[in-house]
Amino acid sequence: MALIKFVRNYNDESTDRGFQYEFFCDRCGTGYRTDFKASGTGIASEALDVAGNLLGGFFGGAADVGRHIHSAAWERAHDAAFSEAVEQIKPHFRQCPRCSQWVCVESCWNDKRGLCKGCAPDLAVEMSAMQAEAAIEGARQVAHAAANEKVGAQDFDEVIKAVCPKCGAPVASGKFCAECGAPLVAERFCTECGDKIASGAKFCPSCGKQQAV
């Protein structure tokens, strides 16, 4: 008795004409389809059906016998084809020893930990996601504070500062860093000549170019 693998995450697309299977990752659903393998018994049975329809009599009986033979032979071929299909797709899957799920190597397997990413997430990816969530939450808090202080939309980019641009110290509010005294308002430069211009200036004092505010 052979050990059966992939007992739940596959579709059997086999027909009388041949065998084909689709296997899926338990975690992300990524699928792999095996190569189609023609069934010799199915082709033979089809040929007998054609002969029976054309000539009847003896060949019609032969077609009935062929279907009975095909039934047993096809099942054996079907089992063999499934075993071959499992071997064909094995390189694309790993079974997690912790949760027993079959997952795809490409997206859902943590090779360093020897576990699926559901049981052992990729720490670099998770850290990046947490940093993004923290940045979004920080921006949301600043936006809320700006709304309460009735800060104009044109000034929002200058107000939203999580850390001091000079020393890196965290800042909560105010126009200057509490650690080094550096201004927290972002510097602006003329889009035409490149000279530094005052925050909120509508025109460059050097070249007169109108600035977006």
Q: Over the stretch 36-79, which tens digit does the pLDDT of each residue have?
A: 999 876 554 554 444 444 444 444 444 444 444 457 888 889 99
Mean of the pLDDT values across residues 4-11? 78
Residue tagged 């064909």 (tokens): 88
Most confident of 113-127, 162-176, 183-197, 198-212: 113-127
- Compute the C-alpha angle 176/181/184, nearest 5°: 35
Instruction: Note the pLDDT of residue 61.
Output: 46
Q: What is the reported pTM?
A: 0.50
Q: In the Cβ-directed half-sphere of 93, how many Cα atoms lie within 13 Å?
A: 28
Token duo for residue 184: 């927290």
**Cα–Cα distance, 78 to 38 (Å, whole number):** 10
Residues 35/42, Cβ–Cβ less than 8 Å: no
204: which 2 tokens?
A: 């460059």
pLDDT exceeds cutoff 50 at 204: yes
- Residue 15's Cβ-count burial label (10 Å; 0-12, 13-18, 19+) is exposed
